[in-house]
Amino acid sequence: MAKIQHEIEELRELIRYHNRRYYVLDDPEISDAEYDRLFQRLVALEKEYPELVTPDSPTQRVGGEPQTAFRQVKHRLPMLSLENAFNDEDIKDFDSRVRRFLGEEGPFQYTVEPKIDGLAVELVYEKGRFVVASTRGDGYTGEDVTANAKTILTIPLKLKSMSGEHPVPDLLEVRGEIYMEREAFRALNRERVARDLPPFANPRNAAAGSIRQLDPRITARRPLNMFCYGVGEFSTLTFETQYDLMLALQDWGLRVNRPHIRVCDTVEEVVAYCHRLEETRDQFAFEIDGAVIKVNRLDLQARLGEKSRSPRWATAFKFKAVQETTRIENIEVQVGRTGALTPVAHLEPVEVGGVVVRRATLHNQDEITRKDIREGDTVVVQRAGDVIPEVVKVIVSRRTGNEKPYRMPDVCPVCGANVQRKEGEAVSRCPNPACPAQVRASLRHFVSKGAMDIDGLGDKILGQLLERGMIHDEADIYGLTMDDLLKLDKIEQKAATNLMQAIRKSKQTTLARFIYALGIRHVGEHVAQLLADQFLTLERFRKASREELLSVKGIGEEIAESILSYFEDPANQELIERLLAAGITLETVVPSGPSPIEGKTFVLTGSLETLKRAEAKELIVRKGGNVSSTVSRNTDYVVVGASPGSKLEKARNLGVATIDEGELLELLEVSRG
Ligand code: IVH
C-alpha cells in the first residue's frame, strides 16, 4: 500500500509539473499522448484505491454535483475597482497625484500590463491548498464559485515553489481575471447556434455565464482561462515590488501575463507602452480593454493606500470604446425616478462590439445642442463596457435636409407638470413626485436585481398594477394577493404563483439591499453597502446624525444631506414603517473571513451607552460570538456598562477579561454609532 501511495504521489507531482509547463508557462515538455498516459495511470490507481484520493489531486477537477444556489462569500479585503484614465493627460495627472501624495520621493517605477476584459475572481489558498474561489460581486461580497473554478485547468489546486526560492504563505488570496479567448468564444457560439441556443454577446459574457453555472460539469466544458494580477489578504509576503510578486505567483504555479507586463522608469514610457498595447490589441488572443498602471514598489503602494472604491497606487488607461455608425429614428424623453428628464435616441439597430444597440442616451439638452443632434441624423454610437451607449458625433456630410432639430419639452411628457431646470444644472426635472413616470421608475428600482430583487415583477406588470390602482407605492406590493395578480392581462396561474413566491422571498433581505431599494438620491449600491456595514441595523441608520453619516468612509456632504432630507420627510418614514409591518426582515451578511470573536462567549452587564441590550446581542451573534447570561470560567469577555451588577465582581474573581462598550465595538469592528 505504501508503495502505491508513493506512486500516486509521484504521478500527481509529475502531472502538476506538466500542467504548469503547459498551462502556466505555455512551454510543454512532453507530448499530449505521454501526458494522457500519466493521467490515465493516476485515474486507474485512484479508482482501485479510492481511499487514497485527495481533493487536490489533478483528477479532482471535473464533476461535482449541481448546486441550487451560490453561497455568499465575504471578501476579507474589499475587491476594489480602478479609476480610469482616458488620455495621456489623465495618465500624467495620475503620476502627479502619486508624486504629490508621496511628497519628496525620488524616481520610482510603474508596471504596465494589459487590462483583461473578463471578470474578477479571488482564489483563496490555505497552506498552499486551493480552498475557495469567489466572484467580485459588489466588491464586498461575492458568490462562491469554487466547484467551477476547480474545472479551470490553469488554476492550480496546490501551490508549490518551482524554484524552491519562495516559501508558499499559509494564507494567500490571489486575484485575477477569468476570461475566454476569442477563438474559443467563437467556437462555443457556433456550437450553441447549431444546438438552437442563443449565442453569447461577447467573450466576457460567455466567461461570466460559464463561471456562474450552477452545474460545474457545464463549466468544465467551457474553455475558461485565468490571469492573476494581484493579491488580497496574505500571511507573509516579503517582496519589494509588484513585479517580483508577479514572478513569485508564477513560481507558485499561478498564471500571470508575464510577457506583457512591462516595468517603466518614467511616465513617458508608461504612456508609450499604453499606446503600444492599444495599437496591438487585436493581436491578443483575448480581449483587452485597457492597460493597468501600478506603482511598482509595494511599500509605496501601502503608503498610497486607497480611497473608498479604488487604490491610489493604480489606474486603468481605457482604450477607445468600440464605435459604429447608425441612424437616429427619433428622440424621446424618459422620466427617471428622481424626475430627471433624459432624451433618448431610438436607433436603427446596430451591432457594437458584439452587442446589438437600439437606444443611446443623449444626456440632456446641452449635449444635444453642443453636438447638434437631429432626428434622422446618421451618427457614430459607442459602447464602453457596461455603460449605456451614447452618441459620439453626427456625420454631418450624410445629412439629406430632412433631419429635424430637437428641443426638450417644457412640460413633463407624462404628467404635464412644468419642467424645472436649476441654475447651473444641465438636467431638467419634472417637479411632481406623484408623476406616474417617477412612481413607476421608483418601483422599477425597488424591485430590481440589486435592490429587493423581485423576479417576474417587470415594468409591464408594474404598469398594469399602477394603472388599475392596485398599488400606489412600494409597500402596496406586499399586500397583493393571488386574486389580484390573476386579474392582470396576460398572466397565467403559474407566473402568478411564481410572482407571489418572489414577493414573499424578497421580504428576507439584507440591510444594504433595503437601503439601496429606498432610492435615496446619491445612495447607490456601493454607498448602501458602506452604510449597512457601518450602521448594521436599520434603526441605527435611521437615527444617524449628520456627523455620524459624515464619519463613514466614502460619504460626503452631498450624500449625507440627501439621506437626512429623505428621513425628514414623514411620507418616507411612513413608507418604511409599512414595509417593516409587511414583514420585511433585514440581515447583515455575515463575513466568512475570520472574525476576531468567532466562538467567543460574552456576558453583558449594566446598561450600555449607544447599543440596546438586544442590539449588542444581535451584533455579537452575527459576528460568530455567543452571548450567555451567567459568568463562568468559559466566559471570554464580560462587557461592562453603567451600574453593572454582580457579574462584574464574579468576572473579577474568576479572572475573566472585562471590556467596555467601546472595546466591544472595536472587537465587532463597528465604529461608534
Ligand atoms: S489590478 C484594486 N490588473 O479591471 C484593483 N485589474 O476596475 C486592482 N482587470 O475589477 C486591479 N485586468 O477585474 C488589475 N491586469 C489587471 C487587470 C485588472 C483586468 C480588472 C479587474 C478590476 C477592474 C478594474
Last residue of a domain, one of 272, 294, 318: 318
Last residue of a domain, one of 296, 318, 340: 318
Instruction: Tell me which range, 245-254, 488-497, 603-612, 662-671, is most confidently predicted by mean pLDDT.
Output: 245-254
Task: Give the DSSP letter of residue 66.
Answer: P
What spacing in Å lies between the alpha carbon of 232 and ligand 1's midpoint? 12
Cell of 231: 493579491
Say how many C-beta atoms besides its own lie within 10 A of residue 545's C-beta: 11
In a domain, 77, yes or no: no
The domain that contains 378 carries what CATH number?
2.40.50.140
Cell of 207: 466567461
The answer to whether the CB of 115 is under 6 A from ligand 1 is yes
Q: What is the mean pLDDT of residues 187-193?
A: 85
The domain that contains 645 carries what CATH number?
3.40.50.10190
374 membership: H or E segment, kind and range: strand 374-375
What spacing in Å lies between the alpha carbon of 176 and ligand 1's midpoint? 7
Nearest residue by C-alpha to atom 10 in ligand 1: 81
**By C-alpha distance, which of 558, 524, 566, 522 is closest to 541?**
566
State residue 627's pLDDT score: 84
Concatenated DSSP letters of 387-410:
SPPEEEEE-GGG--S--EE----S
The boundaries of the domain holding residue 209 are: 83-318
Residue 388 and residue 250 share a domain: no
Residue 355 and residue 253 share a domain: no
The model's pLDDT over 126-156, given as tens digits with 9 standing for 90+, comes to: 999 999 999 998 888 999 999 999 999 899 9
Residue 370 and residue 237 share a domain: no
Last residue of a domain, one of 318, 338, 368: 318
The model's pLDDT over 103-113, given as tens digits with 9 standing for 90+, comes to: 877 789 999 99
Yes or no: say if 206 and 212 are a contact pair by the CB < 8 Å rule: no
Residue 208 and residue 147 share a domain: yes
The residues assigned a catalytic role are 115
By percentage, how much of the chain surpasses pLDDT 90? 59
Residue 329 and residue 312 share a domain: no
The model's pLDDT over 377-425, given as tens digits with 9 standing for 90+, comes to: 999 898 754 568 889 889 888 899 999 999 999 999 999 999 999 887 8
In a domain, 187, yes or no: yes
- The tally of domains found in the chain comes to 5
State residue 650's pLDDT score: 87
Helix/strand/coil for 608: coil
In this structure, of 72-76, 195-199, 335-339, the range with the lowest mean pLDDT score is 195-199
Compare 197 and 297 and report the one with higher pLDDT.
297
Q: What are the C-alpha distances in Å from 475 to residues 271, 481, 495, 545, 562?
A: 53, 13, 21, 26, 22
- 3-class SS shares of the chain: helix, strand, coil, % to 5: 40, 20, 40
Cell of 510: 439584507
Q: What is the mean pLDDT of residues 67-83?
A: 87
State residue 82's pLDDT score: 92
From 75, 79, 82, the mutation candidate for ligand 1 (largest count of ligand atoms within 8 A of CB) is 82
Q: Kindly indicate the confidence band of residue 593, based on its pLDDT and cuts at 50, 70 and 90.
A: low
Torsion of CA 70, 72, 77, 78, to 10 degrees: 80
In a domain, 167, yes or no: yes
Compare 634 and 347 and report the one with higher pLDDT.
347
The model's pLDDT over 319-365, given as tens digits with 9 standing for 90+, comes to: 876 778 899 999 999 999 989 999 999 999 998 866 789 999 998 99
Residue 337 and residue 307 share a domain: no
Cell of 182: 476569442
Global pTM reads 0.57
Nearest-angstrom CA–CA distance, 123 and 454: 31
Residue 393 and residue 278 share a domain: no
In a domain, 415, yes or no: no
State residue 672's pLDDT score: 47
Residue 248 and residue 309 share a domain: yes
What spacing in Å lies between the alpha carbon of 248 and ligand 1's midpoint? 19
The answer to whether the CB of 122 is under 6 A from ligand 1 is no
Helices (H), 623-672: 646-654, 661-667
427 membership: H or E segment, kind and range: none
The domain that contains 540 carries what CATH number?
1.10.150.20
Residue 506 and residue 471 share a domain: yes
Residue 233 and residue 111 share a domain: yes
**By C-alpha distance, which of 451, 609, 429 is closest to 528?**
451
Helix/strand/coil for 550: helix
Yes or no: say if 3 and 9 are a contact pair by the CB < 8 Å rule: no
Closest ligand 1 atom, residue 306 Cα: 2
- The answer to whether residue 52 scores a pLDDT higher than 70 is yes
Residue 193 and residue 112 share a domain: yes
State residue 591's pLDDT score: 46
Residue 445 and residue 352 share a domain: no
The domain that contains 133 carries what CATH number?
3.30.470.30
Nearest-angstrom CA–CA distance, 622 and 569: 32
Q: What is the mean pLDDT of residues 266-292?
A: 92
Work out the mean pLDDT of the chain and round it to a whole number.
89
